[in-house]
Amino acid sequence: MSVHPNLSHRGRLWFEALTGTSSGPGSSDNSGDGVRDGTAGSVRVADAALGSEQARFIAVVPDVHNRFPRARGGEVGLDEACALAVCVRDTIAGDRDGARRAIVAIVDVPSQAYGWREELLGIHLACAAAADAYASARLAGHPVIALLVGKAMSGAFLAHGYQANRILALDSPEVMAHAMGRQAAARVTRRTVAELQVLGEKIAPMAYDIRSFARLGLLHRLIEDVNADAPGQGDIARVRAELLGAIADARAGATDLAARLTSPAARQLRAASIEVRRRLAEQWDGA
């Protein structure tokens, strides 16, 4: 099995920075680092104070010892998606009779796991279970915030983050959102990576960079001027403040995803999404 040369440590870095847990780089000692008994070591969960709030932080991180070979690089595989569903559902159950904790999904996921074992065992259902859990938390009144610190790709993002009330992202070149990785998208659309780059500059939804994504109106905030790879105390404090702002905004707003269509950016680049809904409502009940 080849070692992934470009494993991203952003997810773990920000998880540890925001929760005060630590494991040290490459540590296989899982004590006290947010790994739950009986769930995948690649999913980290911890509760930590956030201002006056208590929040549950969840991250998917690379695990070179993952029992599924296609999920060793931080991908959302079968075990990861299942663990996400379990820990989010635990949060809902734990708060059933009390204040709804905020849930913060720290997103640095290069893709869902591609493999035949994954298909056989129904990775589509596992990812759906994760998305279902996050959406159910949102509907139950938990402010669900996605914090993009690295890649937010495709089915992995759908399973981990895309059901959030509010999406935040660090303004960094390594923070990306897309439906498919660059190389694969180039092969599938029979274009070169360079051609895709040029198209992305012209056509915002095809771009990979987070600034283009922000133009689509899907982000609550793009957090600028933060050192994403080596955050200092000031950087961490800024991100905490942004998380608190997003949580307050989510608590004050609806539990659906309608906020994604209301920003000035969305009114420009998602004009068709808005127009479809407007015309559909007109025709809904007939003449």
Partner 1 sequence: MNGDALRDYRRFLARASFVEMAARERARAILDAGSYRELLGPFDRIKSPWLPMQGIVAQADDGVVLARGTLDGHPALVAAIESGYQGGSIGEVSGAKIAGALELALDDCRRGRPIWPVLLLETGGVRLQEANLGLAAIAEIHAAIIALRRLVPVVGVIAGAVGCFGGMSMSAALCSRLIVTRQARLGMNGPEVIEQEAGVAEVDASDRAGIFRLIGGEQRHAAGLADDLLEDDAAAIAVAVRAAFARGSPPLERSAQVGRLAERLASADPQRPPAADSLRRRWNEGAPS
Instruction: List binders of partner 1 among 185-214 (CB under 8 A).
Output: 185, 187-189, 199, 202-207, 213
Question: Nearer to partner 1 by C-beta: 49 or 276?
Answer: 276
Helix, strand and coil content of the chain, in percent to the nearest 5, comes to 45, 15, 40
Q: In the bound complex, what is the minimum distance in angstroms from residue 65's beta carbon to partner 1?
A: 12
Which of these segments, 20-28, 41-49, 222-230, 268-276, binds partner 1 (CB under 8 A)? 268-276
Q: In the bound complex, what is the minimum distance in angstroms from residue 143's beta carbon to partner 1?
A: 15
| CA–CA gap between residue 26 and residue 9 (Å, rounded) | 10
Q: In the bound complex, what is the minimum distance in angstroms from residue 9's beta carbon to partner 1?
A: 22
Which of these segments, 21-29, 95-103, 220-228, 264-272, binds partner 1 (CB under 8 A)? 264-272
Sign of the Cα torsion 49, 13, 71, 187 reads positive
| CA–CA gap between residue 271 and residue 214 (Å, rounded) | 15
Contact at 8 Å (CB) between 104 and 18? yes
Q: Which residues within the stretch 58-97 sit at the binding site for partner 1 (CB under 8 A)? A: 67-70, 78-79, 82, 85-86, 89
Binding mask 127-166 for partner 1 (x = CB under 8 A): xxx-xxx-xx--x--------------xx-xxx--xx---
Which of these segments, 8-16, 55-63, 231-239, 256-264, binds partner 1 (CB under 8 A)? 256-264
263 Cβ neighbours under 8 A, 6+ residues apart = 217
Question: Nearer to partner 1 by C-beta: 203 or 241?
Answer: 203
| CA–CA gap between residue 88 and residue 57 (Å, rounded) | 10
Question: Nearer to partner 1 by C-beta: 61 or 92?
Answer: 92
* 267 touches partner 1 by CB under 8 A: no
Q: Which residues within the stretch 8-47 sit at the binding site for partner 1 (CB under 8 A)? A: 38
Contact at 8 Å (CB) between 260 and 218? yes
Measuring CA to CA, which residue among 167, 157, 164, 162 is closest to residue 143? 164
Please give the DSSP secondary-structure letter assigned to residue 4.
P
